[in-house]
């Protein structure tokens, strides 16, 4: 059985490499004269959105204790499985975290932990300068989480969906 060949009629202006090259060069030249956006980091920094989700913070009570009551919600919802919680209980039956760690390297900064926390204890924060020399340095324990001082991320507000 003979094989039929369908010849497509493509106008030269649609397949010309010269046209595409000129268009690409035009775009390049346009950017030569556009405002420059290079920032001289770290002397200069971009302002972060109020809803920026970065390095975590654990908030504390007036007495300096972590507000976490070890309910277990945040490690349950965490899609990256990067929160380690070992709960403890004092003589009055109050729960508290014996161990609370977040692997900032594994975290995808979705903000779920902040959203589910019934005590508003754990927050993602408006902070991103957390480079380390070793992977282990990214595992933040309770002491390190409570000692963070940067501002925390604002929750999404349906009344102001674009955060303006």
Helix (H, G, I), strand (E, B) or coil at 68: coil
Determine which residue in the list 52, 57, 113, 126 makes contact with ligand SF4, applying CB under 6 A: 113
Could you tell me the two tokens for 96? 């508290």
| Site map (CB under 6 A) of ligand SF4, residues 72-91, x = contact | xxx--xxxx-xx-x------
Q: Which tokens in the block code for residue 54?
A: 């970065």
Name, in order, each residue with C-beta under 8 angstroms of 39's C-beta and a sequence gap of 6 or more.
45, 46
Total site size for ligand SF4, rule CB under 6 A: 29
Task: Determine if 59 is a binding residue for ligand SF4 (CB under 6 A).
Answer: no
Token pair, residue 58, equals 């654990």
Sheet containing 83-89: which strands, arranged edge to edge? 83-89, 95-103, 139-140
116 binds ligand SF4 (CB under 6 A): yes
Of 124, 142, 145, 152, the one binding ligand SF4 by CB under 6 A: 124
Nearest CB to ligand SF4, comparing residues 29 and 97: 97
Enter the tokens of residue 146.
């409570």
Rounded Cα gap, residues 84 and 156, in angstroms: 26
Asked if residue 153 binds ligand SF4 (CB under 6 A), the reply is no
Which residues are near ligand SF4 by CB under 6 A? 68-74, 77-80, 82-83, 85, 102, 107-113, 116-119, 121-122, 124
């Amino acid at each position: 059985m003979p094989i039929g060949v369908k010849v497509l009629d493509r106008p030269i202006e649609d397949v010309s490499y010269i046209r595409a090259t000129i268009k690409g060069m035009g775009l390049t030249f346009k950017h030569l004269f556009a405002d420059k956006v290079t920032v001289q980091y770290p002397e200069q920094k971009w302002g972060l959105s109020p809803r920026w989700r970065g390095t975590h913070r654990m908030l504390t009570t007036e007495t300096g204790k972590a507000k976490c009551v070890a309910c277990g919600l945040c490690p349950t919802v965490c899609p990256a499985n990067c929160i380690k919680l070992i709960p403890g209980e004092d003589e009055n039956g109050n729960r508290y975290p014996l161990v609370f760690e977040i692997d900032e390297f594994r975290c995808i900064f979705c903000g779920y932990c902040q959203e589910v926390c019934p005590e508003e204890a754990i927050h993602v924060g408006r902070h991103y300068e957390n480079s380390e020399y070793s992977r282990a340095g990214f595992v933040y324990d309770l002491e390190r989480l409570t000692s963070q001082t940067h501002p925390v991320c604002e929750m999404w507000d349906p009344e102001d969906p674009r955060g303006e």
